[in-house]
């Protein structure tokens, strides 16, 4: 059996970031006199950061594959603009608009992926070009003006909440039920994984640690659900986020596809010589990024209820920072979905907390930059210590 | 002439697990051309790296005296200061800088950090004249042929006031007339009192220009021959290079050879960048069931290029020729198709091409055949664990767990992971490219045992190796390659090191006896 200290040492990266997140949350909770954790602010926090997290999922795959995508902010704005023009100027049905928008995102991803994967132009250059191209096209689409408002159904994408089937006054019972269901599911899954590990003779964490861990997770899930339930229930965006995170965590850790992306990022030549069609895989990684950027673009537009030429400026930086804070390696092959999500939340909590405290955008940027540098320094330091 | 300019005494250099140099002594006289010969891996390059300070003082034992003074070089700069310049096999010129810029790189003609171009250019012209190269000092390196680049390297050495010039395989990538020119130059330098150490596989050159020849084998000095006194024949040199005991280094094997399972006919491959350069010419090879076929030749003979082009066109362009398995033509135009047609290729460079070092042993083993351990694209982790544990035990991979990173394994165990990967892919034909390079004797024995077992299971194996004893000890039949062509074929029973070496070294075609 592993002792707690070795367990922590081996997973210092994952636990370290989680602890950093909790510490930062507690700090702001204290500094803001409890505003941070108020249900309405938590809901806001999720809405404000949902698009960063969604794009971080795609970005993580690209970074794991060994590349980078600088264009995601522009692509999100571009797709938001297309959706706006379709709905407002051409009165296209909101459902059709969403499908078309996702398709446009895929095409944009395919366009950039083609140059990177098949023509072998470095992604930094291709997506730098993409950043300019799609920002420019956004301006062209919107003719320099904000376009809106949108049909309510489309707005719901961002500002809606899941329906409550119980109509209990002032409390969202469905949310609590979902919370209970989810907690149970997580515990069952963790128990199964543990059993499997024991079956194959692997060292497992001490039982008490397993119990504490599950109690902590259950408490976090139920606490969040309780907070949400006492406001308006779970936001639609949070449900989308949860499904996406689960899906990508599954893809990266459990599937052939995910395994191949990591292998490609770890050693492209070895992966290719093992029969992995690396150009095609890389191409689809960019297509995936395009689709996620499109989804993020729609959520941004829906939230503001307009598409503006300036939407999404600088998003790429937050998204990339989230991945690196979450432990992804700039040279590829290393990085976890959960890490990127924690990284995105860390940035989100800092944005939100500092805004509540009235810290100006100037200092916010400087502090975020320092946190990014610190997080990566922590990585490098640990790596050197272990060698 | 007998003034000793360089003396290396009792040099011993060990790498983790391998003794690369064992008590080597070596000396060079003033104004002579001293050839250093030996098989690949005999320790020639290591010895020169010790001499030039690539391996700093303290990382080896023994003493170096240059012009009577003891030297303790900490890096190349220090050895170059006293006039010892080494020119490596891979040229170290910067392609997009000009000749003049390259000549004085790190040694710039400058005042207070500002380069004096007039002096640089005129000095460059002077040096180029000395090596007989008529090019403008402003020509970019990338626009010159390899032969001329080699001359620039030598001019660079002259710029550093060289007293002892070390050339590591200088003519390996040169054509006949360029090689000739280079050797002429060495003779000229000799007349001016500059000594050279020439490392070469081309024995004809060695016997032409060398004044003395030192033979290294398995990291030890075997003998030094004096060419001024005796007439040294190539056969004499070969005997010194290969004469070694072969017993007990290879596990015994009973060959049970069946029908032909794999055949490549009229295989032609061109270089991926220089499209007019042919790297394989009309190659025909066959492999039978249960047979280990050796592919022998020097580095650069085109063996790896041939193997990789067969393995799903992983190397080269304009590939033509046909491949047959069990007499039926098969499509091996992509790596994926080659693998599904039962061909596997274990690379010579396991770190760069064979393994994803930052991943677990388990992930590396299943990488080429993930379908086998997954259902509908989802990896069945328990199954993966079982399979990889099986291979760990079967091939005796020494590791704390199959979850260990490939990075932290020794060379021999890394090689076993690469082999496991390809065995798990279930091939009928295995191409093993230098499977024992850089691993110790014990692990080598294990690899040979695995090869024997695979053969007895009825697989066809192509073994590429630069070590002749290995080829002779393991293979049933041997092909010899030179310059992209198969120049000899013989059953192992009729082969000897001398015979194979003759095919490898001889410039003109050997007529079949």
Rounded average pLDDT per 10-residue block, chain A, 387 residues? 60 76 90 87 88 96 96 96 95 94 97 96 97 96 90 89 80 89 91 81 77 89 88 89 94 94 95 94 97 96 92 92 91 92 91 90 90 85 65
Picking from B304, B367, B400 by the largest number of A CB atoms within 10 A of its own CB, the best residue to mutate is: B367
Picking from A201, A253, A273, A329 by the largest number of B CB atoms within 10 A of its own CB, the best residue to mutate is: A273
On chain B, the residues whose CB falls within 8 A of the CB of A272 are 314, 335
In 3-state terms, what secondary structure has residue B297?
A: coil
**Within 10 Å of residue B69's Cβ, how many Cβ atoms?**
8
So what's the pLDDT on residue B17? 59
Bridge partners of residue B374, in order along the sequence = B379
- Which of A259, A273, A333 is nearest residue B345 as measured by Cβ atoms? A273
So what's the pLDDT on residue B301? 84
Angstrom distance (rounded) from CA A267 to CA A255? 18
So what's the pLDDT on residue B512? 41
Instruction: Provide the token pair at A255.
Output: 């599937």
Closest C-alpha to A335, from A2, A13, A30: A13
Closest C-alpha to B85, from B170, B188, B183, B175: B170
Angstrom distance (rounded) from CA B463 to CA B466? 10
> Is 50 exceeded by the pLDDT of residue B509?
no
A2 touches chain B (CB under 8 A): no
> Is 50 exceeded by the pLDDT of residue B153?
yes
Phi, psi dihedrals of residue B500, rounded to the nearest 5°:
-65, -45
> Which of A208-212, A298-302, B47-51, B359-363 shows the lowest mean pLDDT across its residues?
A208-212
On chain A, the residues whose CB falls within 8 A of the CB of B310 are none
Picking from B344, B351, B358 by the largest number of A CB atoms within 10 A of its own CB, the best residue to mutate is: B358
CB pair distance less than 8 Å for B368 and A274? yes
A231 touches chain B (CB under 8 A): no
C-alpha A183, offset from chain centre: 21
> Is 90 exceeded by the pLDDT of residue B39?
no
A255 touches chain B (CB under 8 A): yes
Using one digit for the tens of pLDDT, what is the confidence trace for A186-222? 999 888 888 877 877 676 777 888 888 889 889 988 9
So what's the pLDDT on residue B384? 92
Closest C-alpha to B119, from B106, B135, B100, B105: B100
Using one digit for the tens of pLDDT, what is the confidence trace for B275-319? 788 889 999 999 999 999 999 987 778 899 999 999 999 888 889
Q: Does the bond joining A149 to the residue before it have cis omega, within 30 degrees of 0? A: yes
Residue reference for tokens 């070694």:
B244
Angstrom distance (rounded) from CA B245 to CA B252? 15
CA-CA-CA-CA torsion sign (B370, B374, B378, B379): negative
Highest mean pLDDT among A259-263, B4-8, B253-257, B401-405: A259-263
Picking from B370, B373, B381 by the largest number of A CB atoms within 10 A of its own CB, the best residue to mutate is: B370
So what's the pLDDT on residue B299? 72
Instruction: Provide the token pair at B232.
Output: 């040294």
**Within 10 Å of residue B278's Cβ, how many Cβ atoms?**
18
Instruction: Provide the token pair at A73.
Output: 């902010």
Instruction: Provide the token pair at A306.
Output: 């307009």
Residues 6+ apart with CB under 8 A from A212: none
**Average pLDDT, stretch B86-114?**
85
A199 touches chain B (CB under 8 A): yes
Angstrom distance (rounded) from CA B419 to CA B447? 9
> Is 50 exceeded by the pLDDT of residue B44?
yes
So what's the pLDDT on residue A34? 87
So what's the pLDDT on residue B202? 78
Angstrom distance (rounded) from CA B131 to CA B152? 8
Closest C-alpha to A46, from A311, A235, A221: A235
CB pair distance less than 8 Å for A259 and B379? yes
**Within 10 Å of residue A170's Cβ, how many Cβ atoms?**
7
| HSE-CB for B292 with a 13 A CA cutoff | 28
Strands B429-433 and B343-346: parallel
Angstrom distance (rounded) from CA A37 to CA A41? 6
The region that residue A170 occupies, defined by phi over 0 for left and psi between -120 and 50 for alpha, beta otherwise, is: left
Stated as kind and residue range, the H or E segment containing B295 is strand B292-296
B507 touches chain A (CB under 8 A): no
> Is 80 exceeded by the pLDDT of residue B506?
no
Question: Across A136-271, where does the E strand assignment appear?
Answer: none
So what's the pLDDT on residue B143? 85
So what's the pLDDT on residue B337? 93
A303 touches chain B (CB under 8 A): no
In angstroms, what CA-CA distances link B478 with A325, B297, B368? 55, 10, 29
The region that residue B459 occupies, defined by phi over 0 for left and psi between -120 and 50 for alpha, beta otherwise, is: beta
> Is 70 exceeded by the pLDDT of residue B1?
no
So what's the pLDDT on residue B18? 67
> Is 50 exceeded by the pLDDT of residue B246?
no
> Is 50 exceeded by the pLDDT of residue B410?
yes
CB pair distance less than 8 Å for B363 and A333? no
CB B288 within 8 A of CB B258: yes
So what's the pLDDT on residue A287? 98
CB pair distance less than 8 Å for B377 and A277? no
- Which of B311, B353, B359 is nearest residue A266 as measured by Cβ atoms? B359
In angstroms, what CA-CA distances link A115 with A153, A213, B273? 37, 45, 20
B17–chain A nearest CA distance, Å? 19
Tell me the count of A-B CB pairs closer than 8 A.
84
Angstrom distance (rounded) from CA A178 to CA A162? 11
> Which of B11-15, B16-20, B270-274 shows the lowest mean pLDDT across its residues?
B16-20
**H-helix segments, B210-316:** 234-242, 303-310
A12–chain B nearest CA distance, Å? 17
B370 touches chain A (CB under 8 A): yes
In 3-state terms, what secondary structure has residue A340?
A: helix
Using one digit for the tens of pLDDT, what is the confidence trace for B434-463? 998 777 667 788 899 999 999 999 999 999
Residues 6+ apart with CB under 8 A from B197: B28, B34, B35, B36, B48, B164, B165, B166, B167
């Amino acid at each position: 059996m592993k002792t707690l200290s070795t367990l922590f040492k081996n997973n210092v990266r994952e636990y370290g970031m989680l602890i950093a997140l909790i510490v930062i949350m507690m700090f702001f909770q204290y500094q803001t006199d409890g505003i941070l954790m108020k249900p309405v602010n938590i809901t806001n926090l999720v809405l404000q950061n949902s698009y960063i997290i969604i794009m971080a999922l795609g970005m993580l795959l690209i970074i794991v594959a060994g590349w980078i995508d600088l264009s995601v902010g522009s692509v999100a704005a571009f797709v938001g603009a297309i959706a706006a023009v379709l709905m407002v100027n051409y009165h296209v049905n909101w459902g059709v608009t969403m499908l078309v928008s996702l398709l446009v995102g895929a095409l944009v991803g395919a366009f950039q992926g083609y140059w990177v994967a098949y023509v072998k132009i470095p992604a930094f250059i291709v997506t730098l070009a993409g950043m300019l191209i799609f920002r420019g096209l956004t301006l062209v689409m919107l003719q320099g003006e904000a376009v809106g408002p949108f049909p309510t159904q489309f707005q719901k994408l961002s500002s809606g909440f899941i329906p409550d089937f119980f109509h209990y006054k002032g409390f969202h019972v469905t949310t609590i039920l979902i919370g209970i269901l989810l907690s149970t599911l997580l515990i069952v899954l963790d128990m199964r994984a543990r059993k499997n590990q024991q079956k194959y003779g692997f060292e497992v964490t001490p039982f008490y640690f397993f119990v504490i861990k599950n109690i902590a997770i259950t408490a976090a899930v139920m606490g969040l659900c309780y907070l949400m339930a006492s406001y308006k229930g779970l936001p639609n965006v949070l449900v989308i986020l949860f499904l996406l995170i689960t899906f990508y965590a599954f893809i990266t850790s459990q599937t052939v596809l995910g395994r191949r992306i990591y292998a490609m990022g770890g050693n492209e030549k070895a992966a290719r010589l093992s029969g992995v069609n690396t150009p095609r895989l890389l191409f689809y990684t960019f297509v995936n990024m395009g689709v996620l950027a499109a989804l993020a673009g729609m959520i941004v537009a829906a939230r503001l209820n307009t598409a503006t030429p300036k939407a999404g400026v600088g998003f790429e930086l937050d998204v990339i920072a989230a991945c690196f804070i979450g432990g992804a390696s700039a040279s590829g092959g290393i990085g976890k979905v959960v890490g990127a999500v924690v990284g995105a939340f860390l940035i989100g909590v800092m944005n939100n907390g500092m805004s509540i405290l009235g810290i100006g955008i100037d200092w916010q940027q400087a502090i975020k930059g320092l946190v990014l540098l610190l997080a990566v320094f922590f990585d490098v330091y640990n790596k050197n210590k272990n060698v | 002439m007998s003034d000793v300019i360089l003396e290396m005494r009792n040099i011993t250099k060990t790498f983790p697990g391998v003794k690369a140099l064992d008590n080597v002594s070596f000396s060079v006289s003033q104004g002579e051309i001293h050839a250093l010969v030996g098989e690949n891996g005999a320790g020639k390059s290591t010895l020169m790296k010790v001499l030039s300070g690539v391996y700093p003082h303290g990382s080896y034992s023994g003493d170096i005296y240059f012009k009577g003074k003891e030297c303790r070089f900490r890096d190349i700069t220090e050895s170059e200061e006293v006039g010892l310049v080494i020119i490596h096999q891979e040229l170290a010129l910067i392609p997009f800088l000009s000749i003049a810029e390259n000549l004085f790189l790190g040694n710039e003609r400058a005042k207070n950090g500002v380069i004096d171009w007039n002096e640089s250019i005129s000095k460059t012209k002077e040096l180029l004249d000395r090596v007989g190269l008529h090019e403008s000092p402003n020509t970019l390196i990338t626009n010159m042929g390899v032969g001329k680049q080699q001359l620039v390297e030598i001019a660079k050495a002259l710029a550093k006031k060289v007293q002892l010039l070390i050339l590591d395989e200088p003519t390996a990538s040169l054509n006949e007339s360029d090689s000739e020119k280079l050797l002429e130059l060495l003779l000229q330098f000799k007349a001016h009192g500059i000594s050279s150490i020439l490392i070469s596989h081309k024995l004809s050159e060695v016997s032409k220009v060398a004044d003395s020849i030192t033979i290294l084998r398995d990291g030890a000095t075997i003998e030094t021959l004096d060419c001024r006194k005796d007439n040294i024949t190539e056969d004499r040199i070969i005997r010194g290079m290969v004469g070694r005991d072969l017993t007990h280094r290879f596990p015994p094997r009973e060959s049970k050879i069946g029908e032909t399972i794999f055949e490549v006919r009229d295989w032609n491959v061109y270089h991926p960048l220089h499209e007019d350069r042919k790297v394989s010419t009309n190659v025909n090879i066959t492999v039978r069931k249960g047979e280990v076929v050796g592919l022998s030749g020097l580095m650069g003979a085109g063996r790896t290029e041939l193997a990789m082009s067969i393995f799903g066109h992983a190397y080269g362009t304009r590939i033509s020729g046909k491949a047959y398995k069990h007499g039926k033509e098969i499509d091996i135009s992509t790596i994926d198709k080659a693998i599904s047609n039962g061909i596997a290729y274990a690379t010579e460079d396991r770190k760069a091409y064979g393994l994803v070092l930052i991943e677990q042993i388990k992930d590396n083993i299943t990488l080429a055949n993930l379908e086998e351990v997954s259902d509908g694209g989802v990896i069945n982790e328990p199954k993966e664990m079982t399979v990889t544990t099986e291979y760990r035990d079967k091939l005796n991979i020494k590791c704390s767990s199959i979850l260990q990173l490939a990075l932290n394994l020794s060379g021999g165990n890394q090689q076993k992971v690469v082999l496991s990967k390809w065995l798990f892919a279930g091939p009928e034909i295995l191409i093993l490219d230098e499977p024992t390079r850089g691993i110790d004797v014990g692990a080598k024995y294990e690899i040979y045992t695995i090869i024997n077992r695979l053969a007895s299971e009825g697989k066809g194996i192509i073994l590429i190796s630069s070590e002749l004893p290995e080829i002779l000890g393991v293979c049933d039949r041997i092909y010899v390659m030179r310059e992209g062509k198969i120049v000899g074929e013989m059953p192992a029973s009729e082969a000897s090191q001398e015979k194979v070496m003759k095919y490898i070294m001889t410039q003109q075609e050997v007529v079949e006896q």
